[in-house]
């Protein structure tokens, strides 16, 4: 029995924290680089129940000098799948990507794009405005805001987090027009609905731009941690996360944040930040569970280099991981499980087919009730 235990332990590599690209470009070398890369960089070992050593012992015998790239890609995908990091991704040229959202998740919580059109149909045609993205997306609507027909309520739909509200020279006029609209409307409406449903994330700077408009002073909304050492469980102390207030903030009136299972990443952090404000109610379904941000730092040549939340394998496949652990103000982490709404309302497909958005209707009711 002692010999068996010794052999079992020996199947797991010792802590050799050598550069990932120093491994041989062979099936075996890429396996070691892949496993060690996650072992050295993954930030959720304190929250994740996955036994990463067991993963090594199970899959290592499957890889040898004759393992094909297709087989290796399949093995790596299976190795990553149990990890709770919802920003994890494997990109293999010619073989595709293993993405954050699995096919099973897609089928269970399938996007119904009709909801976007139905929601926008609630807006008064004579009192709305659109915000556009830049950097090649000048014709792509990133946000819409307007008054809801027959209700004294503002509706703000954010389709994705681009740069519509990120300060820059070419965005200045649009941002000023938006803030003027928000400031003027604020005086008369009963409340505002911020719709983050079917928003897969994007530019983290947009999180601060949006959140800043709902606070009147600089605001600590949560905490974060980064990994400090080679040891899997050694993390930094809790780092306060704050947002600076915007002078045109929408405060002291009722706000509803709408989310669903396809609200990912930056919209989730927005929801976490706003959810603790006394005038905010979160309605819809639990968010997707990708609260740990990923911020790429490749240089202009897309050079093969290593950094702590994504790395290249010797065969030039790329492994993406979240950068840090994010917590709300109560030091609760929602990675892999999602942020729960205050009031759970699941989309009613039958109503939606009849151009009725029951989640939006619930938000309207909450604001009109004044509760």
pLDDT tens for 174-199 read 888 888 999 888 888 999 999 999 88
Q: Tokens in use for 185?
A: 């409307």
Place 15 in a pLDDT band, splitting at 50, 70 and 90.
low
262-296 per-position pLDDT tens digit: 898 899 999 999 999 999 999 999 998 988 876 65
Task: Select the more confidently predicted residue: 243 or 116.
Answer: 243
- What is the reported pLDDT for 106? 54
- What is the reported pLDDT for 268? 94
Q: How far is CA 77 from the centre of its chain?
A: 20
Q: Which region among 47-61, 123-137, 243-257 has the lowest average model confidence (pLDDT)?
A: 123-137
Q: Which 3-state string (H, E, C) describes 152-165?
A: CEEEEEECCECCCC
Task: Select the more confidently predicted residue: 351 or 281.
Answer: 281
Q: In the predicted model, what is the mean pLDDT of residues 216-221? A: 92
Place 60 in a pLDDT band, splitting at 50, 70 and 90.
very high
Q: Which region among 98-107, 156-165, 237-246, 360-369 has the lowest average model confidence (pLDDT)?
A: 98-107
Residue 70 has pLDDT above 70, yes or no: yes
Place 76 in a pLDDT band, splitting at 50, 70 and 90.
very high
- What is the reported pLDDT for 371? 66
Residue 179 CB partners (closer than 8 Å, separation 6+): 213, 246, 248
**Spatial CA neighbour of 255 closest among 216, 302, 308:** 216
Q: What percent of the chain has pLDDT over 70?
A: 84
357-369 per-position pLDDT tens digit: 999 999 999 999 9
CA distance 176 to 184: 12
Average pLDDT over all residues of the chain: 83
Residue 235 has pLDDT above 60, yes or no: yes
Place 121 in a pLDDT band, splitting at 50, 70 and 90.
confident
Q: In the predicted model, what is the mean pLDDT of residues 194-207? A: 88
Q: In the predicted model, what is the mean pLDDT of residues 298-314? A: 55
Pairing of strands 153-158, 191-195: parallel
- What is the reported pLDDT for 167? 73
- What is the reported pLDDT for 5? 36
Residue 214 has pLDDT above 70, yes or no: yes
Contact 244, 212 (CB under 8 A): yes
Q: What percent of the chain has pLDDT over 90?
A: 46
Contact 218, 244 (CB under 8 A): yes
- What is the reported pLDDT for 3? 39
Say whether 242 sits in a helix, a strand or coil: strand
210-213: long-range contacts (C-beta < 8 A, 24 or more apart)?
210/158, 210/165, 210/270, 211/243, 211/270, 211/273, 211/274, 212/243, 212/244, 212/245, 212/246, 212/249, 213/179, 213/182, 213/246, 213/248, 213/249, 213/250
- What is the reported pLDDT for 108? 59
Residue 130 has pLDDT above 80, yes or no: yes
């Amino acid at each position: 029995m002692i010999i068996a235990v010794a052999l079992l332990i020996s199947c797991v590599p010792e802590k050799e924290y050598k550069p990932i690209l120093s491994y041989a470009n062979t099936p075996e070398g890429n396996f070691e680089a892949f496993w060690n890369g996650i072992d050295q960089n993954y930030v959720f070992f304190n929250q994740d129940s996955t036994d990463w050593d067991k993963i090594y012992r199970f899959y290592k015998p499957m890889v040898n000098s004759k393992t094909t790239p297709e087989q290796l890609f399949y093995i790596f995908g299976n190795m990553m799948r149990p990890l709770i990091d919802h920003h994890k991704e494997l990109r293999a040229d010619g073989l595709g990507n293993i993405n954050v959202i699995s096919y099973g998740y897609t089928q269970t919580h399938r996007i119904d794009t009709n909801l976007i059109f139905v929601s926008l149909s609630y807006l008064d045609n004579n009192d709305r405005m659109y915000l556009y993205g830049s950097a090649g997306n000048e014709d792509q609507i990133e946000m819409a805001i307007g008054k809801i027909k027959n209700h004294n309520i503002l509706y703000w739909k954010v389709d994705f987090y681009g740069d519509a509200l990120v300060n820059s020279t070419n965005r200045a006029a649009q941002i000023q027009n938006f803030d003027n609209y928000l400031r003027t409307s604020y005086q008369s409406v009963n409340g505002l609905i911020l719709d983050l449903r079917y928003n897969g994330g994007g530019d983290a700077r947009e999180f601060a731009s949006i959140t800043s408009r709902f606070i009147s002073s600089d605001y600590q909304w949560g905490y974060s941690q980064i990994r400090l050492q080679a040891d899997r469980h050694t993390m930094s102390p809790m780092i306060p996360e704050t947002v600076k207030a915007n002078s045109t903030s929408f405060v002291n009136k009722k706000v509803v944040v709408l989310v669903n299972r396809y609200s990912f990443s930056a919209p989730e952090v927005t929801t976490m930040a706003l959810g603790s404000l006394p005038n905010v109610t979160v309605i819809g379904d639990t968010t997707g569970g990708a609260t740990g941000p990923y911020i790429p730092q490749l240089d202009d040549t897309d050079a093969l280099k290593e950094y702590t939340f994504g790395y290249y394998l010797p065969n030039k496949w790329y492994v993406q991981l979240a950068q840090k652990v994010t917590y709300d103000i109560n030091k609760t982490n929602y990675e892999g499980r999602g942020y729960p709404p205050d009031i759970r309302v699941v989309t009613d497909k039958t109503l939606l087919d009849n151009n009725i958005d029951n989640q939006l209707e619930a938000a309207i009711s909450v604001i009109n009730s004044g509760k």
